[in-house]
Amino acid sequence: ALMAGAEDKGAYPRLAQALADINSLQGVAELLEWDSEVMMPEKAAEARGKQKGALAVVLHEKETSKELGALIDEVRAHPGFDAVFSAKEKANIRDAKRNFDLATKVPVNLERRLAELTAKGYSVWAQARKENNFDVFWPVVAEWVALLREKAKFINPALKPYDVMIDQFERGMTSERIAEIFAVVKREILPLIHQISEKAQPDTSLVAHGYPTAGQETISRGVATEMGFDWKAGRLDTSVHPFTVGIHPTDVRITTRFKDNLAEAFTGVIHEAGHGLYEQGRDPEFADQPVGVPLSMGLHESQSLLWEVMVSKSRDFWRHYWPIVLKTFPHVPATASLDAAYAAINKVAPGCVRTEADEVTYHAHILLRAEIEALLLNGQGPIPDPNTLRQLWNTKMQEYLGITPATDNDGILQDVHWSEGLFGYFPSYSLGAMAACQLYQAALKAIPDLPEQIAAGKFHVLREWLREHVHSVGSLYGSLDEHLQNTIGSRVDPSVLAQFLHTKYTPLYHL
C-alpha cells in the first residue's frame, strides 16, 4: 500500500531525498561556521578556510545540478499536482524551484567575483575601522554595489536591484512596501524619540555593572530553560558576537557574551533562545526540506524580539525575575526596587551605534540604512563619493535622532554587513520588531491571563501558541505579510508597534 502511495507522487520522493541531502550538507557548513566562532584553535583558520571552500563547491554542485532541475520540473508537471500534494508539499516544491533558480541564474564567473569580494571585504572593513576612515572602505562598497546590480539583473531583470536583494532575506518584500511601512515609523515613532529625548533619564547604575559572569550564566540558563529551550537538542556557549545556528531541530546552538552589565547578557540569551525555540520547533516531518525552514529573516527576528522585548522587558517579567536577581547577586541592595530596575532596563536614549540602540530608537537606525541602500542599489551609474555618503549618513542621523556621529566608526563604518555584501538585510530587523508586537498582541487575545503567567515565570502556554502559529508553519506562506495574514489575520502593521511604544513609554517618561 505504501508503494502505491509513493507512486502517486511520481518523482517527489526522489526530489525530497535530493533536497534532504543538500540540507544535510548545509548543516555541516553551519557546524563548521559555529566551530570557527566558538571552538576552533586560532592556528586552524587557514585549514578551516580550505575545508569551507571545498564543502561550498560540493554544495554548489548539488544545488545547481541538472538532475535536480529535471526532478523539480518533473514534479511540477505531475498530472495530478493539485490533488496529490498537500499544501506543505506544494510549498516545498515552490521553494525548491525558487532556490534552484537563485542558485543557477547567476553565472559562475560572477559567483567567483562575489566570493572573492566577500573574502576581501571584511579585512578592508576591519582596516578602515582601525584607521577610523570610511575612505578606505568606500571602494569595497562601490564594488559591491556594481556587482550586486549585475547579480540582480540575472536573478530578476523586471525588479529594481534593491528589491531583488531584499527578497533574498525577506522574500516577497519590496522597497515600495518597505517605504510604505517606514512612512509610519517616520510619522509615529520619530516624534516619540524626540519627546523622550527632552525628558530626564532614569538611573541605570543599578543594572549597569558589578554582575559576575557565574551568576549571570546561572540565571540566563534558568530563563532559557523556563522558556522551554531543550538542552538535549541544543547548547549555549560564549562567542564574540552572540548568534544562533539551527543545524537541525535536534541540534540548535546559541551563543552569548557575558559582560558585567546585567541587561546585556541576560537579554542577549533570551534573544538567542527565542531564535533557538523557532529552530527547535520546526515541523519534524519537513525538518530537512525547504518548506520546513524558517520563512524569513524578519519572521526569525520576530521570535527573538518577541521574547526579548515583549516578554523580558515587560514589568510582569521582572515581577518574577527581580527577586531572583536580588537572591543571585548579593551586591545589589535588597532595597533596590522593581520600579527602579524596570525603568533602568527600559531606558531610551538616542545614540550613534545601532547595536547599542534601545527598542524605540532602533527603528531610526534601520530607516536610515534602508534609505541609503535603496539609493545606492537603485541608482544609475557610479555611487556617490565617500564624502557625500558620509554627509548623507550624518545628516540623516541628525534629522532622525538629533545627533551627529563624531567619527566614521560611530557612523557609516559601524556595521559589518556591507563588507559581506549583505545589502537588503537591515529592513528585516524592524519588520521583525513589528511582527513580534503583532504576534504578541494576538497571543494576548488568545491567552487573556498571559501577563499573570509571565509574572509567575510560566511561559509554556505562550511557547505552544508560537509553535502552532510560527515555528511549525515553516515557509508554508510565500512572505511575511502572507504568513501574518493567514495566522493572525493582518499583514505587517507598524502602527501596532507605534501604539505599543507610546502606551509603554508615556508613563515611564511622564510624556
Q: Which active-site residues does the annotation give?
A: 272
Which residues are bridge partners to 244 per DSSP?
Answer: 254
- With cell 586552524, the residue in question is 44
Closest CA to 131 of 407, 417, 421, 418: 407
Distance of alpha carbon 132 from its chain centroid, rounded?
Answer: 27
Which residues are bridge partners to 253 per DSSP?
Answer: 235, 245
Using CA atoms, how far residue 205 sits from 19, 208, 212, 349, 359, in Å, is: 52, 5, 15, 15, 19
Looking only at the bridges linking them, the beta strands covering 251-256 and 244-248 are antiparallel
Closest CA to 479 of 298, 281, 283, 274: 298
The per-residue b/e assignment along 88-105, b for 16 or more CB within 10 angstroms, e otherwise, is bbbbbbbbbbebbebbbe
Whole-angstrom Cα distance, residue 370 to residue 365?
9
Q: What is the DSSP string of 71-126?
A: HHHHHHT-TTHHHHS-HHHHHHHHHHHHHHHHHHSS-HHHHHHHHHHHHHHHHHHH
Enumerate residues 6+ apart whose C-beta is below 8 A from 52.
29, 32, 33
Whole-angstrom Cα distance, residue 454 to residue 323?
14
- Please state the three-class secondary structure of 176-212 as a single string: HHHHHHHHHHHHHHHHHHHHHHCCCCCCCHHHHCCCC
Closest CA to 429 of 326, 237, 297: 297
3-state DSSP assignment of residue 235: strand
